[in-house]
């Protein structure tokens, strides 16, 4: 459900941590920073915002920027245009529960497929993993998928399925010029009547990062998605933040462009446009009684808002999000028994707390 590994491209990243989920967003271990460096709820005038950039920037290939000018930083302020923040000295083990739900419209016509996607999780952070000074995040999750249609009698699906999995994610020191992001998801993906070897799935991701300039980071790697039709996806792109108000994550397969909107009380509000390769893969029992594995694949384009307290946003967390968009290039693909079809395009509405 959701994006490639069940995340939300519209989310800051897959789950509300610093770093967030290994599979959720376009930059799994970075988030949109607050445009204001002041204390929560005390927004500096937009004409003279407190810079988010530190007095001493991390090492880069072009420290003055490509044209040599760089970006002006308020003396002594926290300079980090990539949205990557040092971990708090006292990292709480449990980060709190999160919940999200998405509604994909349809289900009445012969080629309609309506979907409800719900997910709940709780994250644990283990500091200084293997002496790296970076935490290991372990996130057990449960997701429920409710399906309506299609009614053509050829491509049949059960009424519901579930996903019970554990995400594990780690990154190297984000303040170095070169770094790694590693993640895996292990779990059971099936309906409530089927359980076999195909129900167990292992997904993975490995990305290398290279900080080219104070505003630009290159990313490249692979994602192992373990679906019927697609197993391995190349991943990579450019993360560019020209100023504290914009974040361009031109990243395949989950690009996202974010823009700071305003601060309401103690919350920074950002708007965004994003895309993701959605759907998932489950083992099911068809109406004939035969067990099979099915992919539901689609592409989703989303518009949304996300918000959170200023210091949470800077640490890779957010309070909530809401988004809507269009789902197209949909397909149902079976491993063995045939009956593949292309459901109609439709809308999606999704929101969550903590993701």
Q: What is the pLDDT along the chain (355 residues), one digit of tens a residue?
A: 655 554 444 443 333 333 344 444 333 333 333 343 333 333 333 333 333 333 345 566 655 555 444 433 333 333 333 333 334 434 567 777 899 999 999 877 889 999 999 999 999 999 989 888 899 999 999 999 999 988 777 889 999 999 999 999 999 988 889 999 999 999 999 999 999 999 999 999 999 999 999 899 999 999 999 999 999 999 999 999 999 899 999 999 999 999 999 999 889 999 999 999 999 999 999 999 999 999 999 999 999 999 998 877 766 678 999 999 999 999 999 999 989 999 999 999 999 998 7
pTM flag (> 0.75): yes
Domain that holds residue 313: 94-353
pLDDT at 74: 32
Q: Is residue 1 part of a domain?
A: no
> How many CA atoms within 13 Å lie on the side-chain side of 68?
0
pLDDT at 354: 83
> Which value, in Å, is the radius of gyration of the alpha carbons in the chain?
21
pLDDT at 311: 77
pLDDT at 258: 93
pLDDT at 278: 95
Task: Give the number of other Cβ atoms within 10 Å of residue 111's Cβ.
Answer: 17
Q: Is residue 248 part of a domain?
A: yes
pLDDT at 69: 43
Q: Dihedral sign, CA of 63, 242, 38, 304?
A: negative
Q: Is residue 121 part of a domain?
A: yes
Q: What's the total number of domains in the chain? A: 1
Strands (E), the chain: 94-104, 114-126, 136-148, 160-171, 178-190, 200-213, 216-224, 232-240, 246-252, 256-264, 267-285, 291-309, 320-334, 346-353
Q: Is residue 12 part of a domain?
A: no
Query: How far apart are alpha carbons 52 and 49 in whole angstroms?
Result: 9
Q: Is residue 240 part of a domain?
A: yes
Query: How far apart are alpha carbons 297 and 93 in whole angstroms?
Result: 35
Q: Is residue 159 part of a domain?
A: yes
- Nearest CA-CA partner of 144 in 179, 182, 190: 190
Q: Is residue 79 part of a domain?
A: no
Q: Is residue 249 part of a domain?
A: yes
């Amino acid at each position: 459900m959701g994006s490639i590994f069940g995340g939300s491209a519209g989310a800051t990243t897959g789950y509300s941590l610093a770093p967030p989920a290994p599979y959720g967003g376009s930059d799994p271990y970075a988030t949109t920073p607050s445009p204001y460096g002041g204390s929560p709820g005390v927004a500096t005038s937009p004409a003279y915002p407190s810079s988010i950039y530190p007095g001493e920037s991390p090492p880069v290939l072009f420290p003055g920027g490509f044209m040599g000018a760089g970006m002006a930083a308020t003396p002594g302020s926290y300079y980090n245009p990539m949205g990557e923040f040092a971990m708090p000295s006292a990292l709480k083990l449990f980060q709190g529960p999160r919940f999200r739900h998405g509604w994909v419209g349809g289900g009445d016509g012969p080629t309609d497929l309506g979907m409800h996607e719900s997910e709940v999780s709780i994250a644990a952070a283990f500091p200084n993993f293997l002496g790296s000074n970076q935490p290991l995040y372990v996130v057990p999750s449960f997701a429920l998928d409710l399906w309506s249609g299609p009614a053509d009698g050829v491509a049949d699906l059960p009424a519901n399925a579930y996903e019970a999995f554990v995400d594990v994610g780690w990154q190297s020191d984000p303040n170095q010029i070169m770094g790694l992001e590693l993640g895996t998801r292990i779990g059971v993906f099936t309906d409530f009547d089927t359980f076999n070897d195909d129900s167990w799935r292992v997904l993975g991701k490995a990305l290398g990062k290279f900080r080219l300039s104070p505003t630009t980071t290159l990313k490249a790697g692979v994602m192992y998605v373990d679906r019927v039709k697609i197993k391995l996806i190349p991943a990579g792109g450019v993360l560019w933040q020209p100023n504290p108000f914009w974040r361009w994550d031109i990243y395949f397969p989950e690009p996202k462009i974010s823009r700071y909107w305003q601060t309401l009380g103690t919350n920074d509000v950002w708007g965004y446009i994003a895309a993701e390769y959605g759907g998932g893969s489950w083992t099911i029992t068809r109406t004939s009684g035969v067990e099979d594995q099915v992919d539901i694949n689609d592409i989703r384009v989303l518009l949304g808002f996300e918000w959170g307290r200023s210091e949470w946003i800077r640490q890779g967390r957010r309070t909530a999000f809401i988004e809507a968009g269009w789902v197209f290039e949909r397909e149902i693909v079976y491993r063995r028994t045939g009956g593949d079809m292309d459901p109609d395009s439709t809308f999606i509405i999704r929101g969550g707390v903590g993701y």
